[in-house]
Structure 1
Amino acid sequence: MTKKLAFFLLVIITGLMISCSPQNSSTDGSTEDVIRIGYQKNGPLIILKTLGTLEERLESEGYKVEWNEFQAGPALVEALNADSIDFGRTGNTPPIFAQAANAPFLTVAAGKSKFEGSGILVAEGSSILSLEDLKGKKVSFSKGSSSHYLIVKALESVGLTYSDITPVYLSPGDARIAFEQGQTDAMVVWDPFTSSTQINMGAKLLIDGEGYTTDRDFFIANKEFAKENHEIIDIVLEEIEKSSDWANNNHGELVKMLAPIIDIDEASIEMAVKRRVYGVDSINDEIIKEQQEIADTFYRLDIIPKKINVKEVMDD
């Protein structure tokens, strides 16, 4: 009797656990799987989210899309590491920090280069007319970001070193305030912060990223999820490509979509979208080489604690 009672209780408990499972029930009583996607407002996934086409595509596969917003790439990568999301988009440097911290992820695709919107800004009428003039100046940028890499490569191109400037580590928003108040001499940043500073402050773009950085987007996935859901990852990338094609061919509608989301004026958004191409590239040797150079530079500067081989986490 005791064994029968124990078994009966086990059946009841198991039934309760199943009924309380986090799976999502569809209208026909079946269950749906979920793909949890991390995005940032200033990135290609916000376009896909707003258009809503991925949800339509995955519904037939029995998948539901759960969107999770992040303010910055490092936080998104940490969520991937903590198994809080399955897929996301970030810039070119957070994956390098994640790999150096042994995070379980794969880079499954890359975005197109957007070097034109990344650069070094100086104030209108500034005495800084060339890269050489940055010597001894206060230059702001986000530490460990694509802008950090850009300023290092730009300085080295004219024989200067990192120690020749006074670095001021600030997020784009705080950097803009310091720049406007004259607390810094130059600001290294990316669009639409670059375009907004140019249009609303009359700042001059000393150099853009051409020849220094490609400043690509990267699409990353939790390693286990990527292994078990190749087909779903492929569908997501296909829909990103389709939404990118729409964005490239509908600048007017894109500007009106993004301006209120990012909370930046339409003129600045228009400048930003006109000097970039949205899209998806497969991982290739050139992209691997670009990332390896960033990783090697950050290791040389003691920004990451160990030397890494980026190819180990790039799915080609």
Structure 2
Amino acid sequence: MTRKSKTILFISLLITVAVVFFIGEIASHNTSGKKEVVRVGYFPNMTHAPALVGMSRGVFQKELGEKVKIEAKIFNAGPSEIEALFADAIDIGYIGPAPAINGYLKSKGEVLKIISGAVSGGASLVVQPELFDAFQQEGVKAFIGKKIASPQQGNTQDVSLRRYLQENNLFGKAEVVPIANADQLTMFSLKQIDGAWAPEPWASRLIVEAGGKRLIDERDLWPDKKFCTTNIIVSRKFLEKHSDLVRKWLKANVEVINWLNENKEEAQRIVNAEIEKLTTKKIPEEVLKEAWERLNFTTDPLQNSVFDFARAASELGFLGETEPDLSGIYDLTILNEITSK
């Protein structure tokens, strides 16, 4: 081989190496520049305050890091959030026990896990002043012939109301009417219903805006005044594939819960601002303060209250004829590791 040929070959090799290196750098840059995505579902209401505050203050984003993008998915009802989880449209969700249980049973335990608690409390039976006074005189008999509303048949408050009536031998003697929360307020103001078992802030709105009286704070019906209102659920597929991201999310959620409990006034301001941003409507200040006192923020999943709720729902015919098997609904491994440190 001549010197000229060797020179040409050497230059060709250099060019080849340079091209390969350049392509590799481009591929590497594109790969490293691609962000992981965490899609989280929650509601624009007070019982999802940890999600609202964590997103607003950037706590979740800070913990997940700049290479992870958070996509917020806003829902107004539990069933639609569960359907989104089934459709692989969200990875993590804040949700009440009723839809979480229904989703778990519907998927035969294949789709979701409860991985943490978020909120406890925040539901009350509010009644007309006349019924409140009659209850003081007659006790539970005052409910006979009365019309009491719940937000939706089979939802968390509906089951609580029906169980209360059943335990007091009033089942069938008082009428339970499923009415959306906003419509409850209107009908209560017009005295078209005698009471409502409602979540916050609607329970407090019935009091502040419609002159109702709080007859039962549901916390008083539970051991230690604690019952699960909001869980955190995760797609099983996402948990198995991205346990590191789930861990970071739960770590951030613990931080948010602690902050909520230590900064009540600032937390209320942020929650109301987020609700206004998402719904265009603010909660009146008096209602906000009244409702806030009924909520407890905790990472405790309060499993016994969820199992108890499931038994009650089953007895009322909402979950089939036999008590459902929820033995695999929880995976608290990561939460326990975080909170034990």
Q: Structure 2-normalised TM-score?
A: 0.77
The residue that corresponds to 2:143 in the other structure is 134
Q: Give the aligned partner of residue 92 of structure 1.
A: 97
Counterpart amino acid of 2:39? R
Are the counterparts in 2 of residues 88 and 220 from structure 1 also a CA contact under 8 Å?
A: yes
Deviations along 1:162-188, one digit per CA (max 9) or x if unpaired, are: x22211111211111111111111111
Match of 1:3 in 2: none
Shift of 1:128: 4.1
1:136-155 map, 5 Å: 136-142=145-151, 143-155=153-165
Q: What residue in structure 2 maps to residue 11 of structure 1?
A: none
Pick the aligned partner of 1:200 from 209, 216, 219: 209
Q: What displacement does 1:28 show? A: 9.1
The aligned runs of 1:196-275 (5 Å cut-off) are 196-209=205-218, 210-212=220-222, 214-262=227-275, 263-275=282-294
1:105 to 2:120 alignment: no
2:181 to 169, 172, 178: 172
Contact kept? 1:40, 1:71, Cα under 8 Å = yes
Aligned length: 284
Task: State how far apart, in whole Å, the 1-side matches of 2:236 and 2:261 are.
Answer: 31
Q: Judging changes above 3 Å, is the alpha-carbon distance between structure 1 residues 198 and 26 closer, same or farther for their aligned structure 2 residues? A: farther
Does the 8 A contact of 1:37 with 1:65 survive in 2?
yes
Cα offset, 1:51, TM superposition: 1.0
Distance 1:28 1:231, change over 3 A: closer
What is the aligned partner in structure 2 of residue 35 from structure 1?
38
Looking at secondary structure, tell me which structure has more helix per residue.
2
Partner Cα separation in structure 2 for residue 217 and residue 273 of structure 1: 15
Q: Over alpha carbons, which structure has the higher Rg? A: 2
Deviation at 1:218, TM superposition (A): 0.6
- State the alpha-carbon separation in 2 of the partners of residues 258 and 101 from structure 1: 32
> How far does residue 305 in structure 1 lie from its aligned partner after superposition?
3.4
Question: Which amino acid is 1:153 matched to?
Answer: R
Contact 1:292 1:309 in 2 (8 A): no
Superposed CA deviations along residues 29-63 of structure 1, whole A, max 9, x for unmatched, are 52111010001111121111111121122125x32
Distance 1:128 1:145, change over 3 A: farther
Q: Quote the residue 1:300 is aligned against.
A: 315
Q: Specify the alignment match of 1:81 in structure 2.
A: 86
- 1:179 and 1:185 in contact (8 A); partners too: yes
Would you say the 8 A contact 1:288–1:311 is kept in 2?
no
Structure 1 unmatched ranges of 5 or more: 1-24
What is the RMSD computed on CA atoms of the aligned residues? 2.2
Corresponding residue of 1:119 = 124
1:96/1:29 CA distance change after superposition, 3 Å: closer
Q: Which amino acid aligns with 1:232?
A: L
Structure 2 equivalent of residue 5 of structure 1 = none
Aligned to 2:338: none
Deviating above 4 A after TM superposition, structure 1's stretches of 4 or more consecutive aligned residues are: 25-29
Distance 1:147 1:193, change over 3 A: same
TM-superposed deviation, 1:276: 2.2
- Structure 1 range deviating more: 103-112 or 63-72: 103-112
- Secondary structure of the residue aligned to 1:194 is helix
